[in-house]
Structure 1
Amino acid sequence: MNSATVRNLLVRGMLAGLAAGLLALVVAYVVGEPNVDKAISFEHAHAHEHETEAVSRSLQSTAGLATGVLVYGVAFGGIAALAFCFALGRVGRFGPRATALLLSGCALLAVYVVPFLKYPANPPSVGDPGTIGKRTALYFLMMLLSVLLAVAATLLGKRLAPSLGTWWATVVAVAAFTVVTGLAYQFLPAVNEVPKDFPATLLWRFRLSALAIQTALWAGFGLAFGELADRLLNPRRTKAASGHAVPAAH
Protein backbone atom coordinates (compact mmCIF):
# COMPACT_ATOMS: atom_id res chain seq x y z
CA MET A 1 0.00 0.00 0.00
CA ASN A 2 1.62 3.27 -1.11
CA SER A 3 1.94 6.41 1.02
CA ALA A 4 -0.78 8.31 -0.86
CA THR A 5 -3.32 5.56 -0.15
CA VAL A 6 -2.30 5.44 3.51
CA ARG A 7 -2.71 9.20 3.75
CA ASN A 8 -6.13 9.06 2.14
CA LEU A 9 -7.22 6.27 4.47
CA LEU A 10 -5.93 8.25 7.46
CA VAL A 11 -8.06 11.24 6.47
CA ARG A 12 -11.09 8.99 5.95
CA GLY A 13 -10.46 7.34 9.29
CA MET A 14 -10.51 10.69 11.06
CA LEU A 15 -13.70 11.69 9.22
CA ALA A 16 -15.31 8.35 10.12
CA GLY A 17 -14.16 8.88 13.71
CA LEU A 18 -15.83 12.29 13.70
CA ALA A 19 -19.08 10.79 12.39
CA ALA A 20 -18.90 7.98 14.95
CA GLY A 21 -18.20 10.56 17.64
CA LEU A 22 -21.40 12.39 16.72
CA LEU A 23 -23.35 9.13 17.05
CA ALA A 24 -21.70 8.40 20.41
CA LEU A 25 -22.43 11.96 21.51
CA VAL A 26 -26.15 11.45 20.92
CA VAL A 27 -26.08 8.19 22.90
CA ALA A 28 -24.08 9.83 25.69
CA TYR A 29 -26.45 12.77 25.95
CA VAL A 30 -29.64 10.70 25.80
CA VAL A 31 -28.58 7.62 27.78
CA GLY A 32 -25.54 8.60 29.83
CA GLU A 33 -26.13 12.14 31.07
CA PRO A 34 -29.34 11.37 33.04
CA ASN A 35 -27.40 8.80 35.08
CA VAL A 36 -24.58 11.28 35.66
CA ASP A 37 -27.09 13.86 36.91
CA LYS A 38 -28.60 11.33 39.32
CA ALA A 39 -25.15 10.38 40.61
CA ILE A 40 -24.25 14.03 41.20
CA SER A 41 -27.57 14.56 42.99
CA PHE A 42 -26.72 11.62 45.25
CA GLU A 43 -23.32 13.14 45.98
CA HIS A 44 -24.81 16.53 46.86
CA ALA A 45 -27.43 14.93 49.07
CA HIS A 46 -24.75 13.16 51.11
CA ALA A 47 -22.07 15.88 51.13
CA HIS A 48 -21.40 17.87 54.26
CA GLU A 49 -19.90 20.79 52.41
CA HIS A 50 -20.76 22.22 49.03
CA GLU A 51 -17.99 23.54 46.84
CA THR A 52 -18.46 25.91 43.95
CA GLU A 53 -18.05 24.14 40.61
CA ALA A 54 -15.19 25.48 38.49
CA VAL A 55 -17.22 24.57 35.39
CA SER A 56 -21.01 24.61 35.41
CA ARG A 57 -22.85 21.32 35.01
CA SER A 58 -24.73 22.64 31.96
CA LEU A 59 -21.43 23.40 30.22
CA GLN A 60 -20.00 20.02 31.17
CA SER A 61 -23.00 18.15 29.76
CA THR A 62 -23.02 20.06 26.45
CA ALA A 63 -19.85 21.70 25.13
CA GLY A 64 -17.55 19.74 27.43
CA LEU A 65 -19.13 16.41 26.55
CA ALA A 66 -19.15 17.19 22.83
CA THR A 67 -15.50 18.26 22.82
CA GLY A 68 -14.35 15.18 24.69
CA VAL A 69 -16.31 12.66 22.63
CA LEU A 70 -15.51 14.21 19.23
CA VAL A 71 -11.79 14.61 19.94
CA TYR A 72 -11.70 11.01 21.19
CA GLY A 73 -13.49 9.81 18.04
CA VAL A 74 -11.18 11.68 15.64
CA ALA A 75 -8.01 10.57 17.46
CA PHE A 76 -8.93 6.91 17.66
CA GLY A 77 -10.32 7.04 14.13
CA GLY A 78 -6.90 8.05 12.84
CA ILE A 79 -5.14 5.35 14.87
CA ALA A 80 -7.65 2.71 13.74
CA ALA A 81 -7.17 3.76 10.10
CA LEU A 82 -3.42 3.15 10.38
CA ALA A 83 -4.11 -0.24 11.99
CA PHE A 84 -6.49 -0.97 9.09
CA CYS A 85 -3.68 -0.29 6.59
CA PHE A 86 -1.61 -2.97 8.32
CA ALA A 87 -4.45 -5.46 8.83
CA LEU A 88 -6.00 -5.37 5.36
CA GLY A 89 -5.12 -8.62 3.61
CA ARG A 90 -3.16 -9.94 6.62
CA VAL A 91 -5.99 -11.18 8.85
CA GLY A 92 -7.84 -13.20 6.24
CA ARG A 93 -9.46 -12.79 2.87
CA PHE A 94 -11.71 -9.95 3.95
CA GLY A 95 -12.64 -6.90 1.93
CA PRO A 96 -12.32 -3.34 3.27
CA ARG A 97 -15.79 -3.29 4.83
CA ALA A 98 -15.41 -6.61 6.64
CA THR A 99 -11.89 -5.73 7.75
CA ALA A 100 -13.07 -2.39 9.13
CA LEU A 101 -15.87 -4.05 11.09
CA LEU A 102 -13.55 -6.77 12.38
CA LEU A 103 -10.98 -4.18 13.41
CA SER A 104 -13.65 -2.08 15.16
CA GLY A 105 -14.91 -5.11 17.08
CA CYS A 106 -11.40 -6.02 18.18
CA ALA A 107 -10.71 -2.41 19.16
CA LEU A 108 -13.89 -2.27 21.24
CA LEU A 109 -12.88 -5.49 22.98
CA ALA A 110 -9.21 -4.67 23.58
CA VAL A 111 -9.40 -0.92 24.19
CA TYR A 112 -12.56 -0.82 26.28
CA VAL A 113 -14.31 -4.08 27.23
CA VAL A 114 -11.31 -5.93 28.69
CA PRO A 115 -10.14 -2.97 30.85
CA PHE A 116 -13.79 -2.26 31.73
CA LEU A 117 -14.27 -5.74 33.19
CA LYS A 118 -11.35 -5.18 35.56
CA TYR A 119 -11.87 -1.48 36.27
CA PRO A 120 -15.49 -0.65 35.38
CA ALA A 121 -16.59 2.93 34.85
CA ASN A 122 -17.90 4.75 37.91
CA PRO A 123 -20.03 7.88 38.20
CA PRO A 124 -18.20 11.12 39.03
CA SER A 125 -19.44 10.95 42.64
CA VAL A 126 -17.76 7.58 43.23
CA GLY A 127 -14.11 7.26 44.23
CA ASP A 128 -11.59 8.93 46.50
CA PRO A 129 -10.16 12.09 44.84
CA GLY A 130 -6.80 11.24 46.41
CA THR A 131 -6.50 7.98 44.45
CA ILE A 132 -7.54 9.27 41.03
CA GLY A 133 -3.96 9.18 39.75
CA LYS A 134 -3.48 5.57 40.84
CA ARG A 135 -6.85 4.50 39.40
CA THR A 136 -6.12 6.19 36.08
CA ALA A 137 -2.67 4.59 35.85
CA LEU A 138 -4.07 1.13 36.58
CA TYR A 139 -6.80 1.55 33.96
CA PHE A 140 -4.37 2.61 31.23
CA LEU A 141 -1.98 -0.16 32.22
CA MET A 142 -4.80 -2.69 31.76
CA MET A 143 -5.69 -1.09 28.44
CA LEU A 144 -2.08 -1.30 27.23
CA LEU A 145 -1.81 -4.93 28.31
CA SER A 146 -5.07 -5.75 26.56
CA VAL A 147 -3.98 -4.18 23.26
CA LEU A 148 -0.57 -5.90 23.38
CA LEU A 149 -2.17 -9.24 24.21
CA ALA A 150 -4.66 -8.83 21.35
CA VAL A 151 -1.81 -8.17 18.92
CA ALA A 152 0.14 -11.13 20.29
CA ALA A 153 -2.92 -13.39 19.99
CA THR A 154 -3.41 -12.31 16.37
CA LEU A 155 0.22 -13.08 15.54
CA LEU A 156 -0.04 -16.43 17.35
CA GLY A 157 -3.12 -17.37 15.36
CA LYS A 158 -1.46 -16.54 12.05
CA ARG A 159 1.63 -18.53 13.02
CA LEU A 160 -0.41 -21.61 13.96
CA ALA A 161 -2.81 -21.43 11.01
CA PRO A 162 -0.63 -23.37 8.52
CA SER A 163 -0.30 -26.34 10.89
CA LEU A 164 -3.62 -26.29 12.78
CA GLY A 165 -5.92 -24.70 10.25
CA THR A 166 -7.71 -21.38 10.62
CA TRP A 167 -10.42 -22.63 13.00
CA TRP A 168 -8.19 -24.29 15.59
CA ALA A 169 -5.53 -21.62 15.33
CA THR A 170 -8.20 -19.05 16.18
CA VAL A 171 -9.43 -21.17 19.09
CA VAL A 172 -5.92 -21.49 20.53
CA ALA A 173 -5.21 -17.76 20.08
CA VAL A 174 -8.47 -16.75 21.78
CA ALA A 175 -7.85 -19.23 24.61
CA ALA A 176 -4.33 -17.88 25.13
CA PHE A 177 -5.64 -14.30 25.18
CA THR A 178 -8.31 -15.25 27.72
CA VAL A 179 -5.90 -17.09 30.03
CA VAL A 180 -3.26 -14.37 30.08
CA THR A 181 -5.90 -11.67 30.52
CA GLY A 182 -7.31 -13.63 33.47
CA LEU A 183 -3.85 -13.75 35.03
CA ALA A 184 -3.53 -9.99 34.60
CA TYR A 185 -6.88 -9.57 36.34
CA GLN A 186 -5.59 -11.61 39.26
CA PHE A 187 -2.23 -9.88 39.69
CA LEU A 188 -3.30 -6.26 39.16
CA PRO A 189 -4.73 -4.65 42.31
CA ALA A 190 -8.47 -4.28 42.64
CA VAL A 191 -10.16 -0.91 43.10
CA ASN A 192 -13.43 -0.79 45.04
CA GLU A 193 -14.37 2.66 46.26
CA VAL A 194 -18.13 2.54 45.69
CA PRO A 195 -19.94 3.77 48.83
CA LYS A 196 -22.07 1.10 50.50
CA ASP A 197 -25.15 3.30 50.32
CA PHE A 198 -24.76 4.15 46.62
CA PRO A 199 -27.80 2.83 44.66
CA ALA A 200 -26.82 -0.40 42.92
CA THR A 201 -29.37 0.16 40.15
CA LEU A 202 -27.95 3.59 39.34
CA LEU A 203 -24.40 2.19 39.28
CA TRP A 204 -25.49 -0.62 36.93
CA ARG A 205 -27.28 1.79 34.60
CA PHE A 206 -24.30 4.14 34.51
CA ARG A 207 -21.93 1.33 33.56
CA LEU A 208 -24.32 0.01 30.91
CA SER A 209 -24.62 3.50 29.42
CA ALA A 210 -20.82 3.82 29.33
CA LEU A 211 -20.63 0.51 27.46
CA ALA A 212 -23.40 1.63 25.09
CA ILE A 213 -21.51 4.82 24.24
CA GLN A 214 -18.35 2.92 23.35
CA THR A 215 -20.32 0.34 21.35
CA ALA A 216 -22.03 3.09 19.36
CA LEU A 217 -18.67 4.77 18.74
CA TRP A 218 -16.87 1.71 17.42
CA ALA A 219 -19.84 0.26 15.53
CA GLY A 220 -20.40 3.62 13.86
CA PHE A 221 -16.73 3.89 12.99
CA GLY A 222 -16.60 0.39 11.54
CA LEU A 223 -19.58 1.00 9.27
CA ALA A 224 -18.57 4.51 8.19
CA PHE A 225 -14.89 3.79 7.66
CA GLY A 226 -15.60 0.48 5.93
CA GLU A 227 -17.76 2.27 3.39
CA LEU A 228 -15.24 5.09 2.83
CA ALA A 229 -12.33 2.67 2.53
CA ASP A 230 -14.22 0.46 0.11
CA ARG A 231 -15.03 3.44 -2.12
CA LEU A 232 -11.35 4.42 -2.14
CA LEU A 233 -9.86 0.98 -2.67
CA ASN A 234 -12.52 -0.42 -5.03
CA PRO A 235 -13.61 2.55 -7.19
CA ARG A 236 -14.61 0.37 -10.16
CA ARG A 237 -16.98 -1.73 -8.08
CA THR A 238 -18.44 1.41 -6.50
CA LYS A 239 -19.16 2.92 -9.93
CA ALA A 240 -20.68 -0.33 -11.14
CA ALA A 241 -22.94 -0.52 -8.10
CA SER A 242 -24.10 3.06 -8.65
CA GLY A 243 -25.15 2.23 -12.22
CA HIS A 244 -22.36 4.00 -14.11
CA ALA A 245 -20.75 2.29 -17.07
CA VAL A 246 -17.40 0.71 -16.36
CA PRO A 247 -14.98 0.66 -19.26
CA ALA A 248 -13.81 -2.75 -20.31
CA ALA A 249 -10.22 -3.68 -19.53
CA HIS A 250 -7.89 -4.06 -22.49
Structure 2
Amino acid sequence: MNSATVRNLLVRGMLAGLAAGLLALVVAYFLGEPNVDKAIGFEEAHAHEHEMEIVSRGLQSTAGLATGVLVYGVAFGGIAALAYCFALGRVGRFGPRATALLLSGCALLAVYVVPFLKYPANPPAVGNADTIGKRTTLYFLMMVLSVLLAVATTILGKRLAPRLGNWYATVAAVAAFALLIGLAFAFLPVVNEVPQNFPATVLWRFRLSALAIQITLWGAFGLAFGELAERQLNPKPAKAAAPPAITAASPR
Protein backbone atom coordinates (compact mmCIF):
# COMPACT_ATOMS: atom_id res chain seq x y z
CA MET A 1 0.00 0.00 0.00
CA ASN A 2 1.58 3.28 -1.12
CA SER A 3 1.92 6.38 1.04
CA ALA A 4 -0.83 8.31 -0.79
CA THR A 5 -3.35 5.55 -0.06
CA VAL A 6 -2.28 5.39 3.58
CA ARG A 7 -2.64 9.16 3.87
CA ASN A 8 -6.11 9.11 2.31
CA LEU A 9 -7.23 6.29 4.61
CA LEU A 10 -5.83 8.16 7.61
CA VAL A 11 -7.91 11.22 6.75
CA ARG A 12 -10.99 9.06 6.21
CA GLY A 13 -10.35 7.30 9.50
CA MET A 14 -10.26 10.61 11.35
CA LEU A 15 -13.47 11.74 9.64
CA ALA A 16 -15.16 8.44 10.49
CA GLY A 17 -13.93 8.82 14.08
CA LEU A 18 -15.45 12.29 14.22
CA ALA A 19 -18.79 11.00 12.95
CA ALA A 20 -18.70 8.12 15.41
CA GLY A 21 -17.80 10.57 18.17
CA LEU A 22 -20.92 12.62 17.43
CA LEU A 23 -23.13 9.55 17.88
CA ALA A 24 -21.26 8.54 21.03
CA LEU A 25 -21.71 12.08 22.34
CA VAL A 26 -25.49 11.74 22.06
CA VAL A 27 -25.39 8.45 23.96
CA ALA A 28 -23.07 9.91 26.60
CA TYR A 29 -25.26 12.95 27.14
CA PHE A 30 -28.60 11.17 27.40
CA LEU A 31 -27.51 7.92 29.07
CA GLY A 32 -24.31 8.70 30.96
CA GLU A 33 -24.74 12.23 32.30
CA PRO A 34 -27.91 11.58 34.37
CA ASN A 35 -26.05 8.86 36.28
CA VAL A 36 -23.05 11.15 36.75
CA ASP A 37 -25.37 13.77 38.25
CA LYS A 38 -26.81 11.20 40.68
CA ALA A 39 -23.32 10.09 41.70
CA ILE A 40 -22.26 13.70 42.28
CA GLY A 41 -25.39 14.24 44.36
CA PHE A 42 -24.45 11.25 46.52
CA GLU A 43 -20.89 12.55 46.87
CA GLU A 44 -22.04 16.02 47.92
CA ALA A 45 -24.53 14.62 50.40
CA HIS A 46 -21.83 12.55 52.15
CA ALA A 47 -18.89 14.96 51.85
CA HIS A 48 -17.68 16.63 55.02
CA GLU A 49 -16.13 19.52 53.13
CA HIS A 50 -17.38 21.06 49.90
CA GLU A 51 -14.69 22.11 47.45
CA MET A 52 -15.18 25.05 45.11
CA GLU A 53 -15.71 24.02 41.48
CA ILE A 54 -13.04 25.26 39.09
CA VAL A 55 -15.24 24.35 36.11
CA SER A 56 -19.00 24.39 36.53
CA ARG A 57 -20.97 21.17 36.21
CA GLY A 58 -23.00 22.67 33.36
CA LEU A 59 -19.86 23.34 31.35
CA GLN A 60 -18.46 19.89 32.13
CA SER A 61 -21.61 18.12 30.89
CA THR A 62 -21.84 20.10 27.64
CA ALA A 63 -18.76 21.72 26.12
CA GLY A 64 -16.33 19.65 28.18
CA LEU A 65 -18.05 16.39 27.34
CA ALA A 66 -18.29 17.28 23.64
CA THR A 67 -14.62 18.28 23.44
CA GLY A 68 -13.43 15.12 25.16
CA VAL A 69 -15.57 12.70 23.14
CA LEU A 70 -14.92 14.32 19.75
CA VAL A 71 -11.17 14.66 20.26
CA TYR A 72 -11.04 11.05 21.40
CA GLY A 73 -13.07 9.99 18.34
CA VAL A 74 -10.75 11.75 15.90
CA ALA A 75 -7.62 10.43 17.64
CA PHE A 76 -8.72 6.82 17.85
CA GLY A 77 -10.05 7.03 14.28
CA GLY A 78 -6.60 7.96 13.01
CA ILE A 79 -4.90 5.21 15.01
CA ALA A 80 -7.47 2.65 13.89
CA ALA A 81 -6.99 3.70 10.25
CA LEU A 82 -3.25 3.06 10.50
CA ALA A 83 -3.93 -0.35 12.08
CA TYR A 84 -6.38 -1.00 9.23
CA CYS A 85 -3.69 -0.29 6.63
CA PHE A 86 -1.50 -2.92 8.28
CA ALA A 87 -4.29 -5.48 8.77
CA LEU A 88 -5.89 -5.26 5.32
CA GLY A 89 -5.13 -8.49 3.48
CA ARG A 90 -3.24 -10.00 6.42
CA VAL A 91 -6.15 -11.26 8.54
CA GLY A 92 -7.98 -13.20 5.86
CA ARG A 93 -9.69 -12.73 2.56
CA PHE A 94 -11.98 -9.94 3.67
CA GLY A 95 -12.99 -6.90 1.68
CA PRO A 96 -12.49 -3.32 2.91
CA ARG A 97 -15.88 -3.13 4.65
CA ALA A 98 -15.60 -6.51 6.35
CA THR A 99 -12.03 -5.78 7.46
CA ALA A 100 -13.12 -2.47 9.00
CA LEU A 101 -15.94 -4.15 10.95
CA LEU A 102 -13.68 -7.01 12.04
CA LEU A 103 -10.98 -4.59 13.18
CA SER A 104 -13.52 -2.45 15.07
CA GLY A 105 -15.03 -5.47 16.80
CA CYS A 106 -11.65 -6.87 17.85
CA ALA A 107 -10.47 -3.45 19.01
CA LEU A 108 -13.62 -2.96 21.06
CA LEU A 109 -13.09 -6.34 22.70
CA ALA A 110 -9.36 -5.97 23.35
CA VAL A 111 -9.10 -2.27 24.14
CA TYR A 112 -12.26 -1.82 26.19
CA VAL A 113 -14.44 -4.84 26.97
CA VAL A 114 -11.75 -7.13 28.42
CA PRO A 115 -10.20 -4.45 30.68
CA PHE A 116 -13.74 -3.31 31.58
CA LEU A 117 -14.63 -6.78 32.86
CA LYS A 118 -11.69 -6.66 35.29
CA TYR A 119 -11.69 -2.96 36.15
CA PRO A 120 -15.09 -1.49 35.20
CA ALA A 121 -15.73 2.22 34.88
CA ASN A 122 -16.76 4.03 38.05
CA PRO A 123 -18.81 7.21 38.49
CA PRO A 124 -17.81 10.10 40.77
CA ALA A 125 -17.85 9.24 44.48
CA VAL A 126 -16.57 5.73 43.74
CA GLY A 127 -12.87 5.19 44.32
CA ASN A 128 -10.32 6.40 46.83
CA ALA A 129 -8.39 9.48 45.72
CA ASP A 130 -5.23 8.08 47.29
CA THR A 131 -5.27 5.00 45.01
CA ILE A 132 -6.01 6.69 41.70
CA GLY A 133 -2.45 6.18 40.46
CA LYS A 134 -2.51 2.48 41.32
CA ARG A 135 -5.93 1.99 39.72
CA THR A 136 -4.90 3.80 36.54
CA THR A 137 -1.74 1.70 36.27
CA LEU A 138 -3.65 -1.56 36.72
CA TYR A 139 -6.23 -0.58 34.13
CA PHE A 140 -3.65 0.33 31.48
CA LEU A 141 -1.67 -2.80 32.30
CA MET A 142 -4.79 -4.87 31.69
CA MET A 143 -5.50 -3.00 28.45
CA VAL A 144 -1.95 -3.44 27.10
CA LEU A 145 -1.98 -7.11 28.06
CA SER A 146 -5.32 -7.61 26.33
CA VAL A 147 -4.15 -5.93 23.10
CA LEU A 148 -0.89 -7.92 23.02
CA LEU A 149 -2.75 -11.18 23.60
CA ALA A 150 -5.24 -10.28 20.86
CA VAL A 151 -2.36 -9.74 18.41
CA ALA A 152 -0.75 -13.00 19.54
CA THR A 153 -4.09 -14.78 19.10
CA THR A 154 -4.32 -13.57 15.49
CA ILE A 155 -0.76 -14.76 14.76
CA LEU A 156 -1.42 -18.11 16.44
CA GLY A 157 -4.59 -18.62 14.43
CA LYS A 158 -2.76 -17.98 11.16
CA ARG A 159 0.05 -20.36 12.15
CA LEU A 160 -2.38 -23.15 13.05
CA ALA A 161 -4.66 -22.71 10.03
CA PRO A 162 -2.57 -24.77 7.55
CA ARG A 163 -2.57 -27.76 9.90
CA LEU A 164 -5.97 -27.52 11.60
CA GLY A 165 -8.05 -25.61 9.10
CA ASN A 166 -9.56 -22.17 9.64
CA TRP A 167 -12.35 -23.28 11.99
CA TYR A 168 -10.31 -25.34 14.44
CA ALA A 169 -7.41 -22.88 14.30
CA THR A 170 -9.78 -20.05 15.26
CA VAL A 171 -11.31 -22.07 18.08
CA ALA A 172 -7.87 -23.02 19.44
CA ALA A 173 -6.58 -19.44 19.26
CA VAL A 174 -9.68 -17.99 20.96
CA ALA A 175 -9.47 -20.66 23.67
CA ALA A 176 -5.83 -19.74 24.31
CA PHE A 177 -6.79 -16.05 24.51
CA ALA A 178 -9.58 -16.79 27.00
CA LEU A 179 -7.26 -18.94 29.13
CA LEU A 180 -4.52 -16.32 29.34
CA ILE A 181 -7.00 -13.52 30.04
CA GLY A 182 -8.54 -15.67 32.77
CA LEU A 183 -5.10 -16.10 34.35
CA ALA A 184 -4.56 -12.34 34.19
CA PHE A 185 -7.91 -11.78 35.88
CA ALA A 186 -6.96 -14.24 38.61
CA PHE A 187 -3.50 -12.86 39.37
CA LEU A 188 -4.02 -9.11 39.00
CA PRO A 189 -5.27 -7.47 42.21
CA VAL A 190 -8.96 -6.80 42.73
CA VAL A 191 -10.08 -3.19 43.18
CA ASN A 192 -13.34 -2.63 45.04
CA GLU A 193 -13.71 0.87 46.47
CA VAL A 194 -17.47 1.34 46.15
CA PRO A 195 -18.83 3.20 49.21
CA GLN A 196 -21.05 1.12 51.43
CA ASN A 197 -24.23 3.12 50.86
CA PHE A 198 -23.69 3.95 47.19
CA PRO A 199 -26.85 3.12 45.15
CA ALA A 200 -26.28 -0.12 43.24
CA THR A 201 -28.71 0.96 40.51
CA VAL A 202 -26.71 4.11 39.77
CA LEU A 203 -23.46 2.15 39.62
CA TRP A 204 -24.98 -0.49 37.32
CA ARG A 205 -26.56 2.05 34.98
CA PHE A 206 -23.40 4.12 34.82
CA ARG A 207 -21.34 1.11 33.82
CA LEU A 208 -23.92 0.05 31.22
CA SER A 209 -23.95 3.58 29.76
CA ALA A 210 -20.12 3.58 29.62
CA LEU A 211 -20.24 0.29 27.72
CA ALA A 212 -22.99 1.61 25.41
CA ILE A 213 -20.86 4.66 24.56
CA GLN A 214 -17.93 2.50 23.50
CA ILE A 215 -20.12 0.10 21.50
CA THR A 216 -21.67 3.07 19.68
CA LEU A 217 -18.26 4.62 19.04
CA TRP A 218 -16.57 1.51 17.66
CA GLY A 219 -19.63 0.21 15.83
CA ALA A 220 -20.32 3.50 14.08
CA PHE A 221 -16.65 3.86 13.21
CA GLY A 222 -16.52 0.37 11.68
CA LEU A 223 -19.54 1.06 9.48
CA ALA A 224 -18.51 4.59 8.45
CA PHE A 225 -14.85 3.85 7.87
CA GLY A 226 -15.66 0.61 6.05
CA GLU A 227 -17.79 2.53 3.57
CA LEU A 228 -15.16 5.24 3.07
CA ALA A 229 -12.38 2.67 2.68
CA GLU A 230 -14.45 0.72 0.16
CA ARG A 231 -14.89 3.82 -1.98
CA GLN A 232 -11.19 4.62 -1.71
CA LEU A 233 -9.84 1.13 -2.45
CA ASN A 234 -12.50 -0.12 -4.87
CA PRO A 235 -13.80 2.93 -6.72
CA LYS A 236 -16.73 2.34 -9.01
CA PRO A 237 -15.87 2.70 -12.69
CA ALA A 238 -17.31 5.74 -14.39
CA LYS A 239 -20.40 4.98 -16.43
CA ALA A 240 -19.88 5.23 -20.17
CA ALA A 241 -21.88 7.94 -21.86
CA ALA A 242 -24.94 6.64 -23.67
CA PRO A 243 -24.70 6.83 -27.47
CA PRO A 244 -26.88 9.47 -29.07
CA ALA A 245 -30.31 8.28 -30.17
CA ILE A 246 -30.72 7.68 -33.89
CA THR A 247 -33.84 9.25 -35.25
CA ALA A 248 -35.45 8.00 -38.40
CA ALA A 249 -35.32 10.39 -41.32
CA SER A 250 -38.73 11.76 -42.20
CA PRO A 251 -39.92 10.81 -45.70
CA ARG A 252 -39.97 13.56 -48.28
Considering the TM-score relative to the shorter chain, is it more than 0.5?
yes
Q: For residue 124 of structure 2, what is the aligned residue in structure 1?
A: 124
Report the counterpart of residue 46 of structure 1 in structure 2: 46
Unaligned 5+ runs, structure 1: none
Q: Deviations over 1:209-240 (max 9, x none)?
A: 00000000000100000000000000026x5x
**What one-letter code is carried by the residue in structure 2 that aligns with 1:22?**
L
Give per-residue Cα distances to partners, 1:173-226, cap 9 Å, x unaligned: 100000000111111111100011111111000000000000000001000000
* TM superposition score normalised by structure 1: 0.94
Q: How does 1:18-33 map onto structure 2 within 5 Å? A: 18-33=18-33
- Shift in Å, 1:55: 1.0
What one-letter code is carried by the residue in structure 2 that aligns with 1:184? A
* 1:53-105 deviations in Å (ceiling 9; x for gaps): 11110111011111111111111111110111111111111110010001000
2:127 pairs with 1:93? no
In structure 1, distance between residues paired with 2:136 and 2:67? 20
Q: Spell out the pairing of 1:1-250 with structure 2 (5 A cutoff).
A: 1-236=1-236, 244-245=239-240
Structure with max Cα Rg: 2
Unaligned residue ranges in structure 2 (runs of 5+)? 242-252
Aligned residue number for residue 248 of structure 2:
none
Structure 2: distance between partners of 1:245 and 1:65: 49
* Larger CA deviation: 218-227 vs 41-50: 41-50
Whole-Å separation in 2 of the counterparts to 1:124 and 1:132: 12
Q: Aligned equivalents of 1:245 and 1:84: distance in 2?
A: 33
Against the structure 1 CA distance between its residues 245 and 29, is the aligned structure 2 distance closer, same or farther, given a 3 Å change threshold? farther
CA distance in 1, matches of 2:32, 2:240: 48
Structure 1 stretches (4+) deviating beyond 2 angstroms?
Answer: none
Shift of 1:48: 1.5
Q: Kindly, what percent of the aligned residue pairs are identical?
A: 83
Mapped to 1, the partners of 2:226 and 2:187 lie a distance apart of 38
CA distance in 2, matches of 1:148, 1:68: 26
Which moved further from structure 2: 28-37 or 46-55? Answer: 46-55
State how many pairs are aligned.
Answer: 242
Taking only aligned residues, the RMSD between alpha carbons, in angstroms, comes to: 1.3
Q: Secondary structure at the match of 1:226?
A: helix
Using the TM superposition, give the Cα deviation of residue 148 of structure 1 relative to its aligned residue in structure 2, in angstroms.
0.4
Give CA deviations for 1:134-190 in whole Å, capped at 9, x if unaligned. Answer: 111110110000000000000000010011000000001100000000111111111
